[in-house]
Amino acid sequence: MTSIVQDFEQQTSPYRRELLAHCYQMLGSVHDAEDLVQETLLRAWRARGQFDDRRASLRTWLYRIATNACLTALQARSRRPLPAGLGSPGDDPMQPFNPGHDVPWLEPLPDALVGRAGRDDPASILLARGTLRLALVAAMQLLPPRQRAVLILRDVLDLPAADVADMLGSTTAAVNSALQRARARLSEAGVDQDQVDEPADPARQLLVDRYVAAFQHADVAALKRLLTDDAVLEMPPMLNWFAGREAYAGFIDRVFAMRGPDWRMLPVAANGQPAVIAYVRGDDGDYHIHSLQVFTAGAGGISHNVVFADPAAFARFTLASRLPA
């Protein structure tokens, strides 16, 4: 029995990272995705006698199980948005905070959970292609679960329509129709599926480095120059969000007035995007963890910053909760 278990684990372990990425795209939660990967492997173990490698590869079979497990889970769960998906931007950076602690927010995905240093495995390729970036995963949450599944299986994983139909117990015509509707919905949301984000792009990283330097010097004027005209700032679990360089910079002014100008930032990577963990100096002189900030940067500047202020959102990045003075 032990050898059978070991053989099963050896055969399925190469797919864990990409299955985690797939379940994350479906569910928008790292915690839920990890649970569903475990559920997938448990179902696969129980049904291992039914697997026929003449009909499908092991990878396709596992994706079939994972997709249907996610669809079942989504029957009892709400979609996971970002603040911009729930209302209009604020026009006053000084407006009171509007907490949304009861909202199941989209969670950031640490690159380390799915990517490898060599970046030649499927999960690392998904990161490099930008298919795990926050904006795209947030837009996917707008789709009905089956449309979401079709979009991921067809456009992200590039599986044939006939295979997807077989996975979902549907027809090829129905899959193609669902794919068209899903693509149209993403287009309406202003999300480009074909955008390629390169995490190691020196120009993009330089922008973020300059932003960090400006922030740590509390230089709002310098920070403002690094933003695009339509830059967006979101801060889950707060429902407040801001659009435009002026509103963004105005809110940062407010942050310095509230929390002080003494900050430190450590680089991390999330969703295939540059990110930082921000620490603010406390009354005891040490720097205390404050937020995870995930950036979208391009040739025109920084266009989006999602600031996760819920400790549960950045706990998976395994960094110190405080830094000595």
Q: CATH number, domain at 254?
A: 3.10.450.50
In this prediction, residue 197 carries a pLDDT of 55
Considering only CA atoms, which of 48, 43, 23, 17 is closest in space to residue 35? 23
Residue 37 has pLDDT above 70, yes or no: yes
Q: Which of 188, 210, 232 is the last residue of a domain?
A: 188
Instruction: Show Cβ contacts of residue 14 under 8 Å, excluding neighbours closer than 6 positions.
Output: 121
What does the alpha-carbon distance between residue 235 and residue 175 come to, in Å, rounded to a whole number?
Answer: 36
Question: Tokens for 48?
Answer: 């291992």
Supply the pTM of this predicted model.
0.93
Which SS3 state, helix, strand or coil, does residue 175 take?
Answer: helix
Considering only CA atoms, which of 260, 280, 279, 287 is closest in space to residue 317? 279
**Tokens 């709002």 sit on residue:** 220
What does the alpha-carbon distance between residue 212 and residue 270 come to, in Å, rounded to a whole number?
Answer: 16
Q: Which of 166, 188, 210 is the last residue of a domain?
A: 188
What are the residues facing 308 on neighbouring strands? 292
131 plus 236 within the same structural domain: no
CA atoms within 13 A on the CB side of 57: 7
Mean pLDDT, range 205-219, rounded to an integer: 95
Please, what is the end-to-end C-alpha distance for the chain in angstroms?
55
164 plus 245 within the same structural domain: no
In this prediction, residue 249 carries a pLDDT of 97
Quick check: 214 and 255 in contact, CB under 8 A?
no
42 plus 182 within the same structural domain: yes
Instruction: Show Cβ contacts of residue 128 under 8 Å, excluding neighbours closer than 6 positions.
Output: 119, 196, 197, 198, 199, 272
Q: How many domains does the chain have?
A: 2
Residues 116-159 have pLDDT tens digits of: 655 678 888 888 888 999 999 999 999 999 999 999 999 999 99
Residue 100 has pLDDT above 60, yes or no: yes
Give the confidence band of 325 by pLDDT, cuts at 50, 70, 90. Answer: confident
26 plus 128 within the same structural domain: yes
